[in-house]
Amino acid sequence: MKTRFDTLLRAARLKEEALQRDLAKAQAHLQDQEERLAFIRRLADDKTHQLQETLKRPTLAGSLQLYQNFFSGVKKEETLQQSILAETARRLEEARADLIEAARKRRTFEILRDSELLTRKKARRKRETALLDEAAANLWLRGRGQ
């Protein structure tokens, strides 16, 4: 039996499904950004070890300058990646909050629909009971008349 809330409920479900997909994309993006930051850090660690090995033997000043430039670039890249990661985490939390709100709305429509169905069912039972009572009363009156 269709209720006036079925269309709203279907729209709420579709919106919730779209928000679930958006949340999944946001989570995947966050994971990608975390992996990128981890890669930058691993690269810096590897080069630090390489620099330590290089310093154990005679080294040109130009080589040391190259390492200094590399580490300063890595530091800037790491800072940039951390800010991107923070923004991505913020967007993820927004997507999660939107999904929670959509789920609440969907549940509200489900409750309203169920309430309307219950009201209709009670009204139908009341009408059926009234009809059965009337039929029983008519049968009883016919039985008394004989």
DSSP code string of 104-127 = HHHHHHHHHHHHHHHHHHHHHHHH
At residue 143, the pLDDT reads 82
What is the reported pTM?
Answer: 0.74
At residue 31, the pLDDT reads 97
- Pairs from 94-100 (Cβ < 8 Å, separation ≥ 24): 95/19, 95/22, 95/23, 95/26, 96/23, 98/19, 98/22, 99/16, 99/19, 99/20, 99/22, 99/23
Q: Which residues of the chain have pLDDT under 50?
A: none
What CATH class does 6-121 carry?
A: mainly alpha
At residue 109, the pLDDT reads 94
At residue 61, the pLDDT reads 86
